[in-house]
Structure 1
Amino acid sequence: MQNVYLDPNSYVHLQNVLFERSDRYNTNNCREPVIFLSEYCSKRGINLQTIDFWDREKASAQDIYVSFDHKFFLRKWYWRKRNPQYPRVDLAKFKKRILFHFEPPTVMAEIRYIAKSAMRAYDKAFFTWKIPGTNAQYFHTPQAHEGLFFEYWQNENRAFLTLINSNRSSLSRYKELLTERVRAILFFGKTHDIDLYGFGWDARPLFPYWFSGDAIRKTYKGSVEDKYKTLSQYTFAFAVENCELPGYITDKVFDCFYAGTIPLYLGAPDIEEYIPKDCFIDMRDFRNYEELRKFLKQLSQEEIKTYKENGRRFLESEHYKPFTKEHFARLFVEACQDA
């Protein structure tokens, strides 16, 4: 049995909590790709555990270290303060060191500056966006679900427009789109067209919108327990990524497809290489929000139905497979088993 030790993307996932369905952090089954990965590895002779199970004294020279996101030394120090179970690890003790980096600079600001140097610490490094001029390999963020939720998808009694996102802040403004969400909320709030959901919107908005809190709160409907059910109550939803990086495509656009909602997408500039344009509305096609609103209001029911059907066909096609948990599990195992 090959031992693989996974350094998770948060200290709350230690003690193999990362692989538990019942844990409170498994909202909307977001852990399904890693739970599936654990089961997939087990069937192939790989014992996958979180890094706190690694024992320096009992370690084997055949052990493999895999990190979900690269941890800058200050981040490691902070994690140990929050959770003493997070261990000090000697990477030289491992046969192989592999990185799967998920979070972009808007979430982990330091990665913009240390990505190239970080890669040297690993035998293989995979990122969810493309980094030209490096040996970094590109992979898609694995999605938790195989296809649409038909009960939600078929709902025809829908309001106009929603945005479901937390009110994030960031130390890095590099290619960020967090403020674009605020601009969208403010514009469609004035026309009374949008309902806003998510955590943190009762707090002060991002600079330069510090004084727009009252306008934002007028559109705010609270947090959601089931984002797919909430999405299914709207015809359109903003699917705006945290940042604009080549290849960086997350669950935001897929969540809309699952619920039969048409995504208004802004994010990866090369989105059409992976998702056909007839599945979503590209916000870059409009000079301003007034143009976008006019376009949305003029769409016929037949045109709306076509977008919705195109999203369903995409989920059922070969083009969706690179985004699945099965694809990610195969990539993970191949990275561990390659000589």
Structure 2
Amino acid sequence: MSLAEHAIFLEPSSAGFLGDKLFDTSDRHLNRDGTLLPFARLREYWAARGVPVHTADALRSGAVRARTNHYWSFGMLDGYGELRGQPDVRLRGFVLFEPPLVLPAMYARLPALSQDFEQIHIHNTVGDLYSLDGVDAAKLRQLFWPQPYDVEQEPFWSRTERSDRFVIISGNHNPKFRKPEYYSKRIEAVGALASVDAVDLYGRGWERWFSKQSAWWPYWWNIRAIRRSFRGSCNSKLEVLSRYRFSICFENTPMRGYFTEKMFDCLYAGTVPIYLGAPDIEQLVPQETFVDARHCTDFRALHRRLSAMPATEWQDMREAGRAFLRGIGKRRYFDALMNICEMPFG
């Protein structure tokens, strides 16, 4: 065991990333479409400055320990309890990637988290869809979802042979009566578009007809459409997206600031997103980069309109997406993890 002055420890969102797997970009399963690149870049940056970066199990086991140990959690509630109060450990930040719809128990813990950690990174700091009661709001910071790339991804972006069918890439999820949710809006889109044979559905779990995640009314009402449209899971979202001109790109819930990887995947692949999600989306990404599904009352009519979109207009939207990635997208999202973990020794 070496005793450096400082060390950084990251608690991943899942135990499957412990053992420094969070930084293993050679693992094609864990690093699908480059999702681990922000963590690998962070590690390389601090390693070049003599500061080791590991997953938090190395700190808990004592395998790596420094005079001051800087700890960030990316969504595991039970990982930091034994570290609380240790004089050589600073609980620097807790990052909430998921919205209250997905992890309500985590938001119920916000008052305690805001006492334990120096900062809380969250999709909005105004209490939209969660309560600020008992929360130290001065510690809240708006979260910008870290992205792997700051440019479009070749050869996907330049692919010319593309279908006019809409593509949806999403897992089959059941909100268990929690609201507001957009899972049912995705299924609604599948149902409408399948009636005119205009949609391809990819993702995990749709074929589990009798599972708990399928046990809700929108799924069973549209099961025939789901079966007709389902094309299996995909090893690379970018490769699948690159086969289509447009993608149904709906977030899980309409929460201010909740803007995830879904649109970025489309922009990387040169596919125009049909977006529904953050109500403040125009403040996060230029409106000319996407089709705003808030104005859609008929998915079949939307498909007819977009299928007839001139190639020049479609290309203008792609170019706007590319400019966003290289400009605001780089500053806010490509560099987001570095910004979360910046100046760790102050």
TM-score by length of 1: 0.87
**Counterpart of 2:156 in 1: which secondary structure?**
helix
1:64 aligns with 2:70: yes
Q: Is the 8 A contact 1:202 1:213 kept in 2?
A: no
Contact 2:251 2:262 in 1 (8 A): yes
Matching residue's letter, 1:155: R
Q: What is the rounded CA distance, in whole Å, between the counterparts of 1:130 and 1:153 in structure 2?
A: 35
Q: Percent identity?
A: 26
Q: Structure 1 CA distance, aligned partners of 2:175 and 2:45?
A: 35
Q: Which amino acid aligns with 1:337?
A: F
What is the match of residue 292 of structure 2? Answer: 282
1:222-301 mapped onto 2 (5 Å cutoff): 222-301=232-311
Distance of aligned partners of 1:179 and 1:3 in 2 relative to their CA distance in 1, 3 Å threshold: same
Within-5 A mapping of 1:67-106: 67-71=73-77, 76=78, 89-93=82-86, 94-97=88-91, 98-106=93-101
Cα deviations by residue, 1:192-232 (Å, 9 ceiling, x for unpaired): 10011111110233522242323201101111122111111
Kept in 1, the 8 Å contact 2:193–2:300? The answer is no
User: Could you tell me which residue of structure 2 aligns to residue 38 of structure 1?
Assistant: 43
Indicate the larger mover: 55-64 or 107-116: 55-64
The aligned amino acid for 2:187 is V
Candidates 162, 165, 170, aligned match of 2:170: 165
User: Does the aligned pair in 1 maintain the 2:198–2:303 contact within 8 Å?
Assistant: no
Q: Alpha-carbon deviations, 1:62-88, whole Å to 9, x = none?
A: 2222111151xxxx3xxxxxxxxx786
Asked whether the equivalents of residues 144 and 336 of structure 2 are also in contact (C-alpha less than 8 Å), the reply is no
Is 1:218–2:228 an aligned residue pair?
yes
* Partner residue, 1:79: none
Aligned to 2:200: 195
Secondary structure at the aligned position of 1:54 is classed as helix
* Pairing of 1:111-150 with structure 2 (within 5 A): 111-132=106-127, 134-135=137-138, 136-150=140-154
Query: Which deviations, in whole Å up to 9, do the C-alpha atoms of 1:26-60 show, x marking residues without a partner?
Result: 22221111111111122233221112112577966
Gaps of 5+ in 2: none
Using the alignment, how far apart are the partners of 1:181 and 1:142 within structure 2? 24
Task: Tell me the distance in 2 between the aligned counterparts of 1:152 and 1:59.
Answer: 43
Q: Counterparts of 2:185 and 2:215 in 1: how far apart (Å)? A: 10
Q: Give the counterpart letter for 1:68 in structure 2.
A: F
In the alignment, structure 1 residue 183 sits paired with structure 2 residue 183: no
Range moving further from structure 2, 35-44 or 203-212: 203-212
Does 2:108 correspond to 1:108? no
Root mean square deviation, CA, Å: 2.3
Equivalent residue letter for 1:124: Q
The one of 8, 12, 25 equivalent to 1:8 is 12
Equivalent position SS for 2:13: coil
What corresponds to 1:83 in structure 2?
A: none
- Give the distance between the partners of 2:192 and 2:201, measured in 1 at CA: 12
1:332 maps to amino acid: C
2:34 partner amino acid? N
**What count of residue pairs does the alignment treat as equivalent?**
323
CA shift, 1:167, in A, is: 1.1
Tell me if structure 2 keeps the 8 A contact 1:163–1:238.
Answer: yes
- Asked whether the equivalents of residues 31 and 144 of structure 1 are also in contact (C-alpha less than 8 Å), the reply is yes
| Residue 130 to residue 246, structure 1, CA distance change in 2 (3 Å) | farther
**For the structure 1 residues 55 and 163, does the alpha-carbon distance in structure 2 shift closer, same or farther, using more than 3 Å as the test?**
closer
State the alpha-carbon separation in 1 of the partners of residues 179 and 258 from structure 2: 14
CA–CA separation in structure 1 for the residues paired with 2:56 and 2:120: 18
Query: Could you say if the C-alpha distance between residues 217 and 49 of structure 1 is closer, same or farther in structure 2, counting changes exceeding 3 Å?
Result: same
In 1, the alpha carbon distance for the partners of 2:158 and 2:232 equals: 24
- The TM-score normalised by the length of structure 2 is 0.86
**Aligned mates of 2:175, 2:318 — CA distance in 1:** 33
- Give the distance between the partners of 1:190 and 1:196, measured in 2 at CA: 14
